[in-house]
Amino acid sequence: MTDFLSPTAWALLFLVISAAVLIGLLVLHRRRQSVDPIREIASIKRLEQQLKRAAESGEPLHVALGSGQLAGTNAMSSLAGIQLLEGLVDAAVSYDVPPIVTVGDPTLLPLAQDVLRRAYERNQVPEFYDPTRVRFVAPSALTYGGGAMPVGVPEKVSANVMVGTFGSEASLLADFSDQKGTPKTAVVDAVQGIGALYPSTDRMALGEELYAAGAQLTEAKRFAISLIAQDVLRGVLVLMIVLGAIVALIGG
């Protein structure tokens, strides 16, 4: 009984349950033609309106993916930002206003470029793909915040979207956006980024809403299944923690 309650045993049990949940959801995905609607996030829905305004004005969105890394603790937040970008680029390319994307870590550069390239291929205009629309700004978070904003007449943007990992440098992006009178939307999960942006915008998705953004924008079943799996596994983990605490209390 003691061995079963060891941290290693609990971890293995959670992995087994996680695998069972994922397999079950994949089977459900194959059998069903649709999945249940994703919970609506107001700030994400507004992005669709901003895309339409970008098409009308001919001025693209600026999507700032922050300084997250694929090899660090914020890898999941960075991948969630890539998912949201994927939800934006298809419509933007079809409107002929591809976004300007900035990243603060070189590991995100090829991923973001690939998302944009595939959007052109899906719209059957691969010859118009321009990799310079995705830019690596600086590895330092503060330097990235100061240098990420597109400037100049050719670079004028209709809105700024900050999504991913941000700290206090987000306030620099928000301040620049305010000076230009440009609408801004933030989808962040770090406490520092939330604190820096909260006073300056009401168009903000917080915390775990970042992981639902891609599913809501794209309505792709693979993103919806992933989101459902996260919710289920979170419940399973909480249940295991409660059961472990009860068993430890009885054993003590």
- The string of pLDDT tens digits covering residues 30-70 is 555 554 555 667 677 778 788 888 888 889 999 999 888 88
36-219 CATH: 3.40.50
Taking the alpha carbons of 82, 109, 168, 175 in that order, is the dihedral positive or negative? negative
Indicate whether 169 pLDDT > 90: no
- Chain CA centroid to CA 198, Å: 18
The pLDDT of residue 4 is 45
Copy the structure tokens of residue 119. 């959007």
Residue 204 β-bridge partners: 186
How far apart CA 215 and CA 135 sit, in angstroms, is 25
Average pLDDT over residues 155-162: 86
The pLDDT of residue 2 is 44
The pLDDT of residue 11 is 62
Indicate whether 13 pLDDT > 80: no
Average pLDDT over residues 153-157: 72
The per-residue pLDDT for range 172-213, each reduced to its tens digit, is: 888 888 888 888 888 888 778 778 787 777 677 666 667 766
Average pLDDT over residues 94-118: 92
How far apart CA 17 and CA 143 sit, in angstroms, is 43
Give the residue from 209, 176, 50, 45 showing the smallest Cα distance to 102. Answer: 176
Top-confidence range, 58-62, 164-168, 244-248: 58-62
Q: Is the pTM of this model over 0.85?
A: no
% of the chain surpassing 70 pLDDT = 69
How far apart CA 64 and CA 73 sit, in angstroms, is 19
pLDDT-wise least confident of 71-75, 85-89, 220-224, 228-232: 220-224
Q: Which residue has the tokens 């933007």?
A: 92
Confidence of residue 103 (pLDDT cuts 50, 70, 90): very high
Indicate whether 137 pLDDT > 60: yes
Average pLDDT of the chain, as a whole number: 77
Average pLDDT over residues 72-99: 85
